[in-house]
Copies of this chain bind each other. A is one copy, B any other.
C-alpha cells in the first residue's frame, strides 16, 4: 500500500503538470513540458514495475485478506502484470508512433487528406495489436478487441456490448426519425444571442454551486478554467474542470459545466478511506461517463431543472432569456437533429454515433475490414443509422482524436455511460421518488447524495458490471435508458 500510495501521488502530481500545460503554460514551454511529462511517466513506470512490487504482491496474496484488501491485491496485480508484460521497446515505439499519428491526423483533418493519414494510422494499429497480444493472457480476454476494451471497461466483452447496442439501435433509429420530424422548424436563435464571456464565467461558477461542486468557497476543492476542449482532471480534494466559452453559444458552456461537473463530483467523492489505493480509484470509463451524462442530461436537461434555473439565467444575463417559457427553452436545449459530428450530437442521436464507431472497431480488430476501408464503411453507416450524407473525411472518419491517439475500445464507454445512467435513474426514481421536486427548488443534494452513496463511494471495489448489478439489482440492459428517452421526448415534442 505504501508503493500504491507513491504511485497515485505521483500520478496526481502529473495531473497538475498536465493541467498546467493545457491552461496557463507559456507557449515556449511546450518542448520542456513534454520532457517533464515523459520523465514523470517513466518514474511512474519504474515505481509500478519494480521487482519489489511483485515480491510484495506475492506475499500479500498469501495472507488472509478482507474484501477490500483482496480487491487491492487484484487490481495492483493486474496493473503490475500488464505493465511488466510489455517489452520496454514496444512501449517506447508506441509512444513515438502515437505522437506522430496525432500530429499527422491534425494536419490531415485540416486539409481533408485521408490518404496521408492512412499509413501512420496503419502503423499505429499494428503496434496497438502487438501490445494487445502481450497483455491478452494477463487480462484473460478472448480476442484482441476484448483486450482493448478491457482498458476502459474492465471485463466487458464485445459480445455483451453488441447485444445491448443492438437493442439500443433498434429503438433509437425510429425514435430519431420521429423526433427530427417534430423538431423541424423550432427556432433556437435565442441560444445564439451574444452573451459575454465574463457573464458566462459567472454562470459557470453559479451552476457548479447548484450541483454541489464547490469552486468558490474557502473550502473549495475544485475550480473552472478555460481550454480549447473541456475536460476534468484531479483527485479527491483537488478536482478541476475546464470549459470553452463561445460568445454566441452559452448553452455550450452551460452543459459543459454540468457534464464536467458530473465527472468532478465522482472524483471528489471517491471513498476517502481508500485514498491512494487501487480500490479508491474510479470504476471505469463507462461509469465515469454515466456520472457526467447523468448530471448533464438526466438532471440538467429536465423541466424541473429549468423551472428553477431559467429565471436565474435571465438574471445573470441581464434578462437575455426573460421572454422565454421553460417549455421554449427546454425544447431548444433538447432539440434532436441528424448530425455528422458526435460531439455536437443531442441525447437521442448520441448513442448512434457511438454504435457506428463500435461496429467499425469490432470489424477492424477481427480483420473483417482494413484501415483503408474505414471511410467507406463510416459513410455507409452514417447514411443508414443517422440518415446523413458525410461529404468529407474531416467531418467523417477523421473527426475524433481517439483512433489517432491509439485509443481503440474507448468509444463504447460513452454509450455504456448512457445505458448505466438509465439503469441508475430508474433505481433512483424508486429510492427517492421526489427528487424532481427537490431539483425544481434548486436542491440537487438528494440526487448528488444518492450518486455518492451508490456510485462514488463504491469507487473501484467492483467491476463495472457487478457495480451496476449491486446498485440496480439487474444486469446490463438498455431498456431503462430507452424507456426514459421515449417518455421524455414523447412528452416534450408531443410525438
Which A residues form the contact surface with B (CB < 8 A)? 6, 9-10, 12-13, 16-17, 19-20, 24-29, 31-33, 35-37, 39-40, 43, 215, 218-223, 225, 235-238, 240
Contacts and interface: CB of A to CB of B under 8 A. Distances in A.
Contacts of A237: 26, 28-29, 31-32
Contacts of A35: 9
Secondary structure call for the A interface: helix
Nearest to A19: B20
Nearest to A236: B32
A222 B28 CA distance: 8
B222 A39 contact: no
Contacts of A219: 27-28
Contact of A26 (B9, B33, B215): B215
User: This chain: how many copies in the complex?
Assistant: 2
A314 to B, nearest CB: 27
Nearest to A11: B36
Contacts of A236: 32
Nearest to A31: B237
A231 to B, nearest CB: 16
A253 to B, nearest CB: 19
Given A9-B39, A13-B40, A27-B218, A32 B238 contact: yes
Contacts of A215: 26
B9 A36 contact: yes
Contacts of A29: 221, 237-238
A186 B17 CA distance: 49
A25 to B, nearest CB: 6
Contacts of A19: 20
B17 A238 contact: no
A326 B161 CA distance: 76
